[in-house]
Chains A and B, each alone.
Chain A
């Protein structure tokens, strides 16, 4: 880059700026790891506060002893033993895993075609349609959830329609306050968690690949199975991870809509903080939840290279 005469000050400083930029980039290219480090520093800094320290606190707290109003530093395994001594806790853990699996599976089946519709079905209104998916979730969770009661209840819209159409003669109670309403509402709440990642990965799909496949003689089903689905895998896996973890830890929805048995593992965890002051035991339950999900992630990465799915180089 030619440096003009001293009279052309701005040009000089501009070109000096440009060459400084070039030097910096050259430096970063030579020391590639510096770039990686720089990019990861903000996240790691934040996660020290949000993740590392709190988990350390949880681990320490899990050995403390609890009194009526507070905690006493101690070192005992009692809290861990407590989990095993009462069969209710492991049972609730399994129950929550089952619920999470159900919600995730149905959510995937419902969301995939919808995400496909958003990504490939329309051209013009795509962003708008995506935003419209999220608008319902800008209304408060509690108001939204309570709005299901006049829909599913015995004097609700569904029952009213069924009775008017004379399909049933008495109101049906099973739409509300049981596992059905919990699963339905959880799917509703976590729909964006599954739709958005699948949409993002389908959106990237080059239409020409699909054309090429059909040119080569593949019918739509084969094209889907061999081309579309594999390429949308990151989105699918992302969605599964996000929905499963959310559903696994859900406790407010089961409490509100689960009727007389509306309890999941998350509820007993919440109880230790909001019903009493048993933080040590709460810490144990939290650590167990974390361990379960970590375990599942490890198992999942046996079948797919999870980090490769998310863009890490193989």
Chain B
């Protein structure tokens, strides 16, 4: 197989996977314009009414804001804590196997179990549940092992000769980190933060039990679809996709200009 053929194959394959990924997304976008009370086919005609209904639905936007805030804060804190832990493993130390197992263990604990456990724990401690207090603990704990794994894969067999060279040239550890190490692992950091955000944004069950008076978007959607149909939620999902695409395109244009 020549290199060119391999490249085309990869491109076609990549496109196919994207099609698979976006199939339900395309469907939900289509349904958001469907003039039908039920969120399904058959097609009842084109309409904007769900978007109009969404504009009047203040509580959904508050939930969205809460989810975004929680997601961003979770991503930042989780990446920092997980990143530090990943870095700790670059040195050899006693008990490193045990510590690593402990860092991976939160993967395994079912969300419902941890939700109830945290609820009881915070109640016993007299801590008032809140979006950026108790829920944040649940979200950071939940995303931490993912961030740890992702940053660790990036650090694996990290070539230290570059760092050594920098230090030989007189830079201290901190300078070396910012100028040499960080740029090399930045994709890993950014990728992990993005991943943590994604996990937190869609997280439902742990949130349900550790949250105070607020709603997050998943809670709102689960509760609403549990007792009524609400095609305006599809409109909301479509807007989220549209906004994400807009951000991505904007990012690309900005980067293009930098060159």
Contacts and interface: CB of A to CB of B under 8 A. Distances in A.
Chain A directly contacts chain B within the complex, with at least one CB pair under 8 Å: yes
A288 B15 CA distance: 41
B252 A125 contact: yes
Contacts of A49: 118, 121, 137, 141
Interface in A133-165: 133-151, 153, 155-157
Contacts, number: 300
B217 A293 contact: no
B42 A155 contact: yes
Nearest to A266: B110
A241 interface: yes
The interface centre, meaning the residue of A39, A110, A191, A313 with most chain B CB atoms within 10 A of its CB, is A39
> In which size bucket is the chain B interface?
35 or more
Contacts of B101: 294, 297
A22 B157 CA distance: 27
> In which size bucket is the chain A interface?
35 or more
B121 A57 contact: yes
A144 B85 contact: no
B121 A156 contact: no
A201 B99 CA distance: 22
The interface centre, meaning the residue of B85, B96, B117 with most chain A CB atoms within 10 A of its CB, is B117
Contacts of B1: 220
Contacts of B150: 196-197, 200, 238
Contact of B149 (A114, A197, A220, A283): A197
A311 B152 contact: yes
A113 B15 CA distance: 11
B248 A132 contact: yes
A310 B85 CA distance: 11
A258 interface: no
B149 A36 contact: no
A266 B21 CA distance: 25
Contact of A144 (B25, B41, B89, B91): B25
Nearest to B155: A311
Contacts of A156: 41
B24 A245 contact: no
B46 interface: no
A74 interface: no
Interface string A276-314: 000100110010011001100100000000110111110
A50 B144 CA distance: 10
Contacts of A310: 86, 89, 100, 148-149, 152-153, 156
Interface of B: 1, 6-7, 10-11, 13-14, 17-18, 20-25, 27-28, 31, 39-42, 80-82, 84-93, 96-97, 99-114, 116-118, 120-121, 137-138, 140-142, 144, 146, 148-150, 152-158, 172-174, 187-188, 190-191, 194-195, 198, 201-202, 204, 217-218, 221-222, 225, 233-234, 237, 240-241, 244-245, 248, 251-252
12 contacts: A32-B93, A42-B84, A44-B102, A54-B117, A125-B252, A127-B187, A128-B248, A130-B191, A139-B237, A140-B218, A147-B27, A241-B104
